[in-house]
């Protein structure tokens, strides 16, 4: 059996919050565009591809809403918190969410939610791309075989883990300094970084990531997602993790 890391006790406590999102999900598509992020240290990462580049697997409208509204809202909230707190302004998002205990309690939830969202989505855009898909090669393929039972079994386990996320969340593959991999589902915008893990890659299973095209068919989305996974980029992230240079 592949290693599956258990969510932290704190993550389980807040897991129920994801259910509230499901109840209100239809309202997401009617919301106004997020306001421009206030000037600050955090910004939307530039994607290496256009919104329509991942079609037909992820549609352009979903990509536009996901990037320009949802991710932009996390960045705006972080910059808002940074305006009145020098510590937030001086730290990277990876540093902030890796040590939430050092964040002032009055804004800790803001940083947990929005810092996690910013880190998770920055990774997400990076590990996808047009003309991608297929199977991994090199060290990543070897690590998947060694730690996760081979590519076919890994894909099935990854999809099953994504389906079991109740409400909103992510399914991640984590990597340690020696290159060992594990599956780690997480609720809401929690990042494995918060529990001391590094993220190799992961898939967003919040409804805003797939609902326009797939409606409630999360299983279909999870299967289609493999067609846009950028394995060469994941190979780069794997090498960076082993060198101690992978930030988020």
What's the chain's average pLDDT?
A: 89
Question: What are phi and psi for residue 101, nearest 5 degrees?
Answer: -65, -20
Q: For residues 81 and 106, is the Cβ–Cβ distance under 8 A?
A: no
Q: For position 3, what pLDDT does the model report?
A: 56
38 in any annotated domain: no
Phi-psi region at 57: left, alpha or beta (left = phi > 0; alpha = psi -120 to 50) = alpha
Percent with pLDDT over 70 in the chain: 85
- Say how far apart CA 110 and CA 15 lie, in whole Å: 16
Three-state DSSP at 44 gives coil
What total of structural domains would you count in the chain? 1
Look up residue 165 and give its two tokens: 């996320």
Neighbours of 189 (CB within 10 A): 23
- Say how far apart CA 202 and CA 97 lie, in whole Å: 17
If you ran DSSP here, which 8-state letter would residue 184 be given? Answer: E
Would you place residue 164 in the very low, low, confident or very high pLDDT band (cuts 50, 70, 90)?
Answer: very high
Q: How far apart are the first and last CA of the chain?
A: 27
47 in any annotated domain: no
2 in any annotated domain: yes
Question: pLDDT by residue (tens digit) across 95-148?
Answer: 999 999 999 999 999 999 999 999 999 999 999 999 999 999 999 999 999 999
110 in any annotated domain: yes
Q: For position 39, what pLDDT does the model report?
A: 76
Q: For position 9, what pLDDT does the model report?
A: 42
Q: Closest Cα partner for 34 from 81, 83, 79, 70?
A: 70
Question: pLDDT by residue (tens digit) across 179-228?
Answer: 999 999 999 999 999 999 999 999 999 999 999 999 999 999 999 999 99
Q: Closest Cα partner for 189 from 79, 73, 80?
A: 73
192 in any annotated domain: yes
What's this model's pTM, rounded to 2 decimal places? 0.85
Look up residue 170 and give its two tokens: 């992510």
Question: pLDDT by residue (tens digit) across 46-91?
Answer: 999 999 999 999 999 999 999 999 999 999 999 999 999 999 999 9
Percent with pLDDT over 90 in the chain: 83
25 in any annotated domain: yes
Look up residue 3 and give its two tokens: 């290693």
If you ran DSSP here, which 8-state letter would residue 203 be given? Answer: E
Q: For position 176, what pLDDT does the model report?
A: 97
Please name the residue ranges forming H helices in the chain.
Answer: 9-14, 17-28, 60-65, 72-83, 86-90, 93-98, 105-126, 138-148, 151-164, 211-214, 218-225, 231-242
List of residues 6+ apart from 244 with CB closer than 8 A: 177
Question: pLDDT by residue (tens digit) across 43-53?
Answer: 999 999 999 99
pLDDT at 171 over 60: yes
Q: For position 2, what pLDDT does the model report?
A: 54
Query: What domain range includes position 89?
Result: 1-33+57-248
**Residue-by-residue DSSP string for 94-129:** HHHHHTGGGS-HHHHHHHHHHHHHHHHHHHHHHTB-
The CATH code of the domain that includes 10 is 3.55.40.20
């Amino acid at each position: 059996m592949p290693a599956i890391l258990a969510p932290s006790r704190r993550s389980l406590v807040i897991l129920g919050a994801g259910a509230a999102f499901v109840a209100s999900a239809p309202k997401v598509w009617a919301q106004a565009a997020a306001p421009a992020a206030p000037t600050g240290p955090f910004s939307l990462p530039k994607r290496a591809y256009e919104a329509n580049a991942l079609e037909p697997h992820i549609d352009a409208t979903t990509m536009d809403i996901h990037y320009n509204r949802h991710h932009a809202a996390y960045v705006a909230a972080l910059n808002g918190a940074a305006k009145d707190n020098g510590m937030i302004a001086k730290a990277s998002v990876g540093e902030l969410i890796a040590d939430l205990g050092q964040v002032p309690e009055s804004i800790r939830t803001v940083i947990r939610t929005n810092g996690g969202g910013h880190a998770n989505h920055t990774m997400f855009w990076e590990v996808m791309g047009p003309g991608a898909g297929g199977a991994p090669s090199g060290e990543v393929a070897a690590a998947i075989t060694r730690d996760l039972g081979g590519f076919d079994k890994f894909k099935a386990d990854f999809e099953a883990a994504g389906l079991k996320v109740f409400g909103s969340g992510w399914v991640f593959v984590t990597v340690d300094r020696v290159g060992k991999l594990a599956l780690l589902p997480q609720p809401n915008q929690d990042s494995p970084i918060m529990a001391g893990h590094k993220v190799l890659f992961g898939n967003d299973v919040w409804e805003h990531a797939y609902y326009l095209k797939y409606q409630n068919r999360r299983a279909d989305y999870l299967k289609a997602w493999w067609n846009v996974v950028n394995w060469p980029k994941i190979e780069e992230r794997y090498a960076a993790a082993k060198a101690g240079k992978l930030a988020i």
